[in-house]
């Protein structure tokens, strides 16, 4: 019994040692692709509410098309399809695919955050002579960002998990490393258990960070409606 336990501990430790170097790759893919998604998402979200039909239509088409295609297919398309012409390496293709995919979801979140701000805020800014861009930049978006922190955090955690899909084009992140370990030593249960635990540890840590951020951004008295 004790022997078995010792054996298991050594095995898990061995798997963990094998997987650890892949963790930074997962973090890199997630952070880079999500940063891209935030920037693109904010731009598309603002375009979505543009008064110029051409721009708002473009944004809705972008959102609907991207959301309607599985991320895995987008990864294939960007790496094998576009990659041929653009000479993208695995990392760039993976980051681009996850980033573009999540930008569509974030765009909708940003738009709903902007919509949630009371009309009086737009009117007050207008009455003070601000342009529409200034109104968004200084009055509306700073308030929206506080509203959208929780849903955006959800997307961030989801994108961390979805970064595992990039393993399919040979990026050696956590999932890929797990597969490699398995195909070398043929221990399935323990390998995938370890992979799962690493993801779980990362997502739970992130949830804690988000809770902290929410408290940090809850400015004094913010949240009351009539202001």
Partner 1 sequence: MIIKVKDLVCRFGDVQALDGISFEIEKGEVVVIIGPSGSGKSTLLRCLNAIDSFDSGKVIIGGTKVEKSHKNVHKIRLEVGMVFQQFNLFPHLTVIENIMLAQRIVRKRSAEISRRKGVELLGLVDLSDKIDAYPAQLSGGQKQRVAIARAMAMDPMIMLFDEVTSALDPEMVGEVLEVINKLVDQGKTMLIATHVIGFAREVADRVIFIENGRIIEEGPPEVIFDNPRQLRTKDFLSKVL
Choose the stretch contacting partner 1; rule: CB under 8 A; options: 42-50, 153-161, 178-186, 214-222: 214-222
Q: Does 130 bind partner 1 (CB under 8 A)?
A: yes
Nearest-approach distance from CB 156 to partner 1, in angstroms: 22
The mark string for 135-174 relative to partner 1 (x by CB under 8 A, - otherwise) is: ---xx--xx--x----------------------------
Q: Does 224 bind partner 1 (CB under 8 A)?
A: yes
Which of 124, 187, 193, 213 contacts partner 1 by CB under 8 A?
A: 124
Unique residue bearing structure tokens 């239509």: 57
Q: Does 213 bind partner 1 (CB under 8 A)?
A: no
Q: Does 51 bind partner 1 (CB under 8 A)?
A: no
d(CA 5, CA 3): 5
Residue closer to partner 1, measured from CB, 134 or 203: 134
Nearest-approach distance from CB 121 to partner 1, in angstroms: 6
Return residues touching partner 1 (CB under 8 A): 118, 120-121, 123-131, 134, 138-139, 142-143, 146, 219-224, 226-227
């Amino acid at each position: 019994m004790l022997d078995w336990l010792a054996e298991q501990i050594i095995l898990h430790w061995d798997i963990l040692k094998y997987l650890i170097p892949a963790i930074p790759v997962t973090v890199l893919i997630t952070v880079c692709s999500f940063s891209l998604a935030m920037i693109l998402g904010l731009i598309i979200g603002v375009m979505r509410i543009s008064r110029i039909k051409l721009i708002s239509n473009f944004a809705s088409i972008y959102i609907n098309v991207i959301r309607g295609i599985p991320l895995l297919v987008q990864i294939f398309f960007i790496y094998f399809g576009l990659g041929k012409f653009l000479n993208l390496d695995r990392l760039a293709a993976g980051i681009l695919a996850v980033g573009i995919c999540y930008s569509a979801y974030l765009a909708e979140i940003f738009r709903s955050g902007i919509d949630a701000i009371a009309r009086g805020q737009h009117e007050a800014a207008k009455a003070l002579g601000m342009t529409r861009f200034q109104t968004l930049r200084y009055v509306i978006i700073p308030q929206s960002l506080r509203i959208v922190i929780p849903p955006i955090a959800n997307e961030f955690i989801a994108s961390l998990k979805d970064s595992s899909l990039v393993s399919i084009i040979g990026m050696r992140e956590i999932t890929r490393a797990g597969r490699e370990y398995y195909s070398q030593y043929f221990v399935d249960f323990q390998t995938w258990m370890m992979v799962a635990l690493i993801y779980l540890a990362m997502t739970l840590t992130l949830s804690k960070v988000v809770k902290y951020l929410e408290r940090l951004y809850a400015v004094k008295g913010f949240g009351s409606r009539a202001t």
